[in-house]
Structure formats: C-alpha cells, structure tokens
Amino acid sequence: MPAKRHNAASKAAPKPAAPSTAWNYRDVLYEVKDQVAWVTINRPRVLNAFREQTLDEMIDALRSTREDPSIVCAVVTGAGEKAFSAGGDFFAMKRLNFANASMWNDRMLGLAMTIRGLPIPVIAMVNGWCMGGGHELALWCDLVIASDNAVLGQTGAKVGACPTVGATQYLPRLLGERLAREMIFCARRFTAKEAVEVGLINKCVPQKDLVKETLKWCETMKGHSALTLRMTKRSLNFESDNLYASWQHGMELLAHVWGSDEAKEGMNAFLAGRPPNFQKFRLRAKRELDEYRRGLEKNLNEPPIMRKKAKN
C-alpha cells in the first residue's frame, strides 16, 4: 500500500520548472532557459534603438553561450511589441565623426562576427519595427521569424547613414541585385508577409503566436546533433565569409559618413520631426563645381607668374 500511495503521489506531483539563469545588464535582458539563450534589447521607450553599451552587452551575452555547451540555440529579440529594433540610437550616432568612427563601427562588426561565429544557430525573433541597423542585426542571424505586425526596411538614405555593415553585402544575395538596390536607394519597406515572399525572412506568424512558433524551432533543434548544427553553420557561412573584405571596406566608407553635413542634417531632422533638406547639399556641390570650372576658364590652375607671361 505505501508503495502504491507513493506512485500516485508521484504522478500527481507538478513537473518542476526548468532551471533558468539570468544576467544583469543595463540595456539588455539575458536569460538561459530550457537550453535556449534569450537576448532581448530592453530599450522599448526608444523602439529598442541601440547605443555603444547595448552592442557591448549583446556581444558579452552571446559570447557567454560558449561557456555552456548544453545551449541549443540563441534567440535575439526586442522588448515589447512595437519594435525588434529601430537601429542605432541617433543620440549616439550624431556624436560620431571620422576620428571616433571606430568606436561604433568596431562594435557593429564585433556583434555581427559574434553571431556568425557562434557554434549554435541564432534566431532573430522580430516584432514590430525592424529598421536600419536593427534590420542588419536580423540579417546577421541564421533564421528570422517575424510577427504579422513587423515591418523591415533600410532607412539610411533618408537619414544620411550607410548600411554597409551587412545590408550591402547580404541583401543582394537574399533579394537579388535589383530589389536590394531598390530597398536601399528608395528606403523601401517590407511587411512581414512580403518579406517571406521575397526571401528576406523565413516565416511570418500572428503576433500572439510569435514566441510559441519560435520555441518550435528551438525544440526541433534540441533533437538534432549539436556537432552537425555547428559544422553545417560553418559550411553555410563559408561563401559569405569571403565578403569579410567588403565589411572592412564598408566600415571605412561609413567612417567618412559619420559627422558629415548630410549625416548631421538627416539625424537632426529626424529628431526634430521634420523632413531633411538634402537638396541644399546638391546645390552647394553644383555651386562649387561651377566655381571650379570658371577657375579653369581663367587659368587659375597655374601660378600667377605664368598667367602674366601669357598676357604678355
């Protein structure tokens, strides 16, 4: 009888909760639960836009997954339902210039290389806005699942920034050259449904099912070989790893953009809630070119002594 009572009690006992571990960061929430690492940008008041400290914390959190071989995969997402990430925080980026550009660019590259270099798949779970650098963050991930309220786009041309740390490299591979150029030059946005159709993301699901559907991927991979996942990720990355030189090239281009008059105008206009006036820079460039041409007609490209000799 005691044995039977023991068995009945065992069946009725609730299943113990799976252990979870959390770390303390300021801009990021990080938790490991059920062998899944969750990295959440926790700046919902600014649509999860990131600054330097955010990038540092994400790199640190993702690298820490290497210390626990039981982790199956990582999920990167944004807090709240309004945004995955709106990209770089303009209050951070407007302080950048050529002299300090590496302080931002190296962090962006560091996060990208961390995600691509991890031996586990990294899933971007996209909710709401996924724009600019936030969209590049999703591009770095292995899989992308989005809620039906998600909007993905590249806004650099509208604010005087350049998406050269992933977007210019990967979008042509995903969308083809023509559509990639349209997305970047025209700042075209895609709904989650459209993004699936053009191959920009893997899956679009109702917002209420986003976490549940993401966990299905995680559960599926739990039953798969960790060694196979690691080696096939490395192999799948091989061809695009050859684009590394273009990343360095892109960061150098971006260094010249930070602090430029056009970047300042674009970001200040955005923060002020007004349309940017980029036309004034085209007109200024035309005036400068016209002045240069007039100088050629007047032989101002030679020393004064030579001009005097020509008159005589």
What does the pLDDT read at residue 79? 98
What does the pLDDT read at residue 105? 95
For the cut 80, the answer to whether the pLDDT of residue 20 exceeds it is: no
Q: Indicate the CATH number of 15-261 among 3.90.226.10, 2.115.10.20, 3.40.1010.10, 3.40.50.300.
A: 3.90.226.10
For the cut 70, the answer to whether the pLDDT of residue 4 exceeds it is: no
Is 88 within 8 Å of 135 (Cβ atoms)?
no
For the cut 80, the answer to whether the pLDDT of residue 12 exceeds it is: no
Is 28 buried (19+), middle (13-18) or exposed (0-12) by CB count in 10 A? buried
What does the pLDDT read at residue 304? 83
Residue 115: which residues within 8 A CB-CB, separation 6 or more?
A: 62, 76, 122, 140, 141
Is 166 within 8 Å of 156 (Cβ atoms)?
no
What does the pLDDT read at residue 73? 99
Q: What is the DSSP string of the chain?
A: -HHHHHHHHHHHSPPPPPPEEEE--SSEEEEEETTEEEEEE--GGGTT-B-HHHHHHHHHHHHHGGG-TT--EEEEEESSSSEEE--B-HHHHTT--TTTHHHHHHHHHHHHHHHHHSSS-EEEEE-SEEETHHHHHHHHSSEEEEETT-EEE--HHHHT---TTTHHHHHHHHH-HHHHHHHHHS--EEEHHHHHHHTSSSEEE-GGGHHHHHHHHHHHHHTS-HHHHHHHHHHHHHHHHTTHHHHHHHHHHHHHHTT-HHHHHHHHHHHHTS----HHHHHHHHHHHHHHHHHHHTTTTS-HHHHHHHH-
How do residues 85-124 score in pLDDT, each as one tens digit? 999 999 999 999 999 999 999 999 999 999 999 999 999 9
What does the pLDDT read at residue 312? 61
Confidence bin at 19 (pLDDT 50/70/90) = low
- The residue ranges of every structural domain in the chain are 15-261, 278-312
What does the pLDDT read at residue 10? 39
Name the average pLDDT for the chain: 92
**% pLDDT > 70, the chain:** 92
Is 131 within 8 Å of 153 (Cβ atoms)?
yes
Is 40 within 8 Å of 78 (Cβ atoms)?
yes
Please state, as a whole number, how many other Cβ atoms lie within 10 Å of the Cβ of residue 228.
9
- Token pair belonging to 53: 């400290």
Confidence bin at 29 (pLDDT 50/70/90) = very high
Confidence bin at 303 (pLDDT 50/70/90) = confident
Please state, as a whole number, how many other Cβ atoms lie within 10 Å of the Cβ of residue 161.
25
- Does the pTM exceed 0.85? yes
